[in-house]
Amino acid sequence: MTLSRALIDEAIAWRHQFHAWPELGFQEHKTAQQVAALLETFGFEVYSGLGGTGVVGTLRQGSGPVIGFRADMDALPVTEGTNLPYASQIPGQMHACGHDGHTAMLLAAARHLSQTRQFNGTLHLVFQPAEENLAGARRMIEDGLFRLFPMDAIFGLHNWPGLPQGQVALNSGAMMASLDTFEVTLTGKGCHAAMPDEGADPLVAAAELILALQTIPARRLSPLDSAVISVTQLSAGEAINVIPERAVLKGTVRCLQTPVRDRVEKLIGEFVTYLPQSFGVRGTMDYHRGYPVTVNHAPWAEQVCRAAKRALGESNVTFGINPSMASEDFAFMLQACPGAYFWLGTDGACPSPSLHSAHYDFNDAIIETGVTLWTTLAEQLMPVKA
């Protein structure tokens, strides 16, 4: 497949525009307007406002399969530290995860496919808001995504530091972990720090609880199960000479199997209820279920593998990659519709800064690769009749 240099240059220009004007989840008004306007010029039917600021573009060419491709549009509340000429113009907001690149690649694929039309079917391009923590995918689904736009399958791509530039990686099962959060309140009895026997110290209970929670993956789960429990915040007390009445712990839980996720929630609840009692402290917990496990559907993952090998060569495709314990709300879409999620490597001569880093910048050199992947996958899944 040959893509014009003009198309790739235009995609890079779009990417830099998105990067300079990042918008947080459900605030992607300017981005969504530009996406919708471009899709219309390409000849797509455009539906705006789905899930708040989401956009769906539809291109029909024959009576074949109905396929969806998704790109996320939102930025992060990060202050950029790159000093690039197209660096963020909005204080405290930055495209630190590459969603600017995802959007630009899918737009370029849209333009190419609208011109060549070498497919037989219907293509829905889903430009999603609020992937970062706010579950924009779920919001789009609740707002009727798959009811208004029924699909045989949907696919999502994410750039991936740590993989060589232009390489594709995926597997036929879990790609990303679930994400749950918890807040534990430990209530004891405050007292003078010199007289701890007159109180019930929630900080000692908190310290023991933090350590005890780490035994859940190590001792209460099978070594074949995957779970990460991280206590990330501890707040208590106001004065240095006072044992406080209350301590609050907050943290996250990530798992790669839904049954393990269920068991971990139950075990944390047991620890919170019973362990503090030995210190005369009462424990309560607010547990919030967030993103589910991102699980590929095997037949569709194999289709991505086949398309990637065809587009990039077998040596640039890894099928069977280990999943990540990070999370992704494309998981909601894969719960509602068959499909697959895959990574596109970004590391060139120098390793890329990590995702969510203030020094991260999407690698423009993979834009052509991403456009090639999308167009190859579209043409493979919706082949022209002989």
Q: Binding site residues for Mn(2+), as ranges?
A: 97, 99, 132, 158, 356
Q: Which residues pair with 342 in a beta bridge?
A: 157
Q: Which structure tokens are listed for 284?
A: 């309560």
The answer to whether 53 and 32 have CB atoms below 8 angstroms apart is: yes
Cite the annotated binding site by residue number. 97, 99, 132, 158, 356
The answer to whether 311 and 373 have CB atoms below 8 angstroms apart is: yes
DSSP assignment of 182-229: EEEEEE-B-EETT-GGGSB-HHHHHHHHHHHHTHIIIIIS-TTS-EEE
Residue 178 CB neighbours (<10 A): 26
Count Cα neighbours of 217 within 13 Å in the Cβ-side half-sphere: 14
| Sequence-separated (6 or more) residues with CB below 8 Å from residue 227 | 216, 217, 221, 253, 254, 255, 256, 260, 261, 264
Instruction: Please state the three-class secondary structure of 297-346 as a single string.
Output: CHHHHHHHHHHHHHHHCHHHEEECCCCECCCCCHHHHHHHCCEEEEEEEE
